[in-house]
Amino acid sequence: MKRSEEMTFWERIYLPEILRGLAITNYHFVRNLFLHTAHLFGFKKDVNATATTQYPEERKHYPDTFRGSHRLTLREDSSVRCTACFLCATACPAQCIYIEAGEAPDPHIEKFPVRYEIDTLRCIYCGLCVEACPCDAIRMDTYVHPRIWGFDRLDFVETKEQLMHRSRVLAEKGRDGNMDEMLAWYKEQDAAVYDRTPHKHYAEPPKKIDELPAIDRHQVRSGK
Ligand code: SF4
Ligand code: SF4
């Protein structure tokens, strides 16, 4: 940003920029008004009237470099690749990774995560966990953004099963698979939870995303 003494006279009075902003706003207003009216009469149907993406009915396709939700990668036998070394949890600046290590059934592997959870409300999606992992066991190349809808803090705690499931979906359905699943879940919740009659919402108790055992839920809440 320029300091005030570096600004020109016209920049200091802001007027040209205000007028430019008003011109852009008015251009979109008139354009959308024209297109919506044309759509009403069956014209210009192929031209979108607004620049807003009507999420979740429409969505942007994220670029290859998009750093999205996490996944735990799998071995060829579909077991989790993670060896519960805790390096990701140690590197995590938000301290939102919870790992519980257990003895691996494979004698060639020392440990595996009995539990691996990420609290996505605390996660800042920095990618340091991915950088820290020596086994390529955690990635963020799922092309799906974090879940934005839930009714309880625990709805946003992603479990090992969820994180492994994303790897399976990615392998089977490609880069749109995980987003398709999340949007399908949104629609299912929308249909189940909201009663469309006036002045009446939350007709049924919200369905949980995951059914964690009671003891796990207590531990996550208390941060143990
Ligand atoms: S992306 Fe960053 S904040 Fe999120 S779990 Fe990984 S290291 Fe922690
Ligand atoms: S994801 Fe990687 S860094 Fe984290 S515990 Fe597993 S093996 Fe270690």
Q: What is the pLDDT of residues 116-144, one digit of tens each?
A: 999 999 999 999 999 999 999 999 999 99
The residue-averaged pLDDT of 51-57 equals 76
Q: pTM of the entire structure? A: 0.71
Rounded to an integer, what distance in angstroms lies between the CA atom of residue 72 and that of residue 168? Answer: 10
Question: pLDDT class for 217, splitting at 50, 70, 90?
Answer: very low
Predicted local confidence at residue 48, as pLDDT: 82
Predicted local confidence at residue 195, as pLDDT: 56
Q: Is the CB of 86 under 6 A from ligand 1?
A: no
Predicted local confidence at residue 208, as pLDDT: 52
Predicted local confidence at residue 187, as pLDDT: 83
The residue-averaged pLDDT of 151-176 equals 93
The residue-averaged pLDDT of 54-83 equals 91
Which ligand lies nearest the alpha carbon of 157?
1
Question: pLDDT class for 223, splitting at 50, 70, 90?
Answer: very low
Tell me the CA–centroid distance for residue 138 and ligand 2, in Å: 7
Query: Which amino acid residue places its CA nearest to atom 2 of ligand 2?
Result: 133
Q: Does residue 5 surpass a pLDDT of 80? A: no
Q: Is the CB of 94 under 6 A from ligand 1?
A: yes
Q: Does residue 220 surpass a pLDDT of 60? A: no
Tell me the CA–centroid distance for residue 87 and ligand 2, in Å: 6
Tokens found for residue 105: 């059934």
